[in-house]
Amino acid sequence: QMPVQQKRTSGGMLEVLTSLKDTEGGLLKGIVNLYDGLLPNLLKEGPSASLYLGIYELVKTNLQDRTPWLPALMVYFLAGAAGEILASLVKVPNEAIKSQVQTSNTTTLEAATQLLQDPSALANTLRAWQGAMLRDIPMGALTMVFFEASKTFIIQDPYLDWDVSTLQSEAVLGAIGGAIGAIASAPMDVVTTRIITQKKNKEGEEVEGLGLVEM
């Protein structure tokens, strides 16, 4: 009796990129498919990033003026967290739309938006907001804590000759801070995506919606 081969459901990044040439329509179509969900992703990142930075600066300035006794690192952390909380009001709905498009639950932005109007999908989005809070707050807060603290350290260190006010320097420090935040928030990012896109359980039955704990 021949052994039964299990169908592989996913592969690594290299395998996915290699499979582009096997996409129906050819390699070019496969590359185009990598940009599925681009518009909702732009709607997610652009406004939310602007809101995040605006709120961050506003809260940071107010905390520095009104609570001078508060440690600087705590000011950065609280300001970054506040920015992410408000930015999530824009980010999570658009992330839900993006996830529906990218996972092929639907193929168009309009259809994805209509799909999320379903009560169960809307409930999933609200549950995903809980996960997004546990993902985005550490991400935004830790990013800004590292960014601001590293700039302060470099400026105050007499042995470091590094102009942190240049675009290149801020880009480097911001990238490192973002990497630290991404590492800390990666598990909750997976949970948030699973909540948004869940449809059936392991037995193939429709589910009412799993929450943060069940994931």
Write the DSSP assignment of 41-57 as a string of letters. HHHHHHHHHHHHHHHHH
Summarised one tens digit per residue, pLDDT across range 143-196 is 889 999 999 999 988 888 888 889 999 999 999 998 988 888 888 778 777 776
Summarised one tens digit per residue, pLDDT across range 51-99 is 888 999 999 999 999 999 999 999 999 999 999 888 888 777 777 776 6
Q: How confident is the model at residue 197 (pLDDT cuts 50, 70, 90)?
A: low
- 10 Å CB burial of residue 71 (0-12, 13-18, 19+) is exposed
- 10 Å CB burial of residue 73 (0-12, 13-18, 19+) is middle
Lowest mean per-residue pLDDT among 37-41, 102-106, 171-175: 102-106
pLDDT of residue 54: 92
Yes or no: say if 144 and 79 are a contact pair by the CB < 8 Å rule: yes
Given its phi and psi angles, is residue 26 left (phi above 0), alpha (psi -120 to 50 degrees) or beta? left
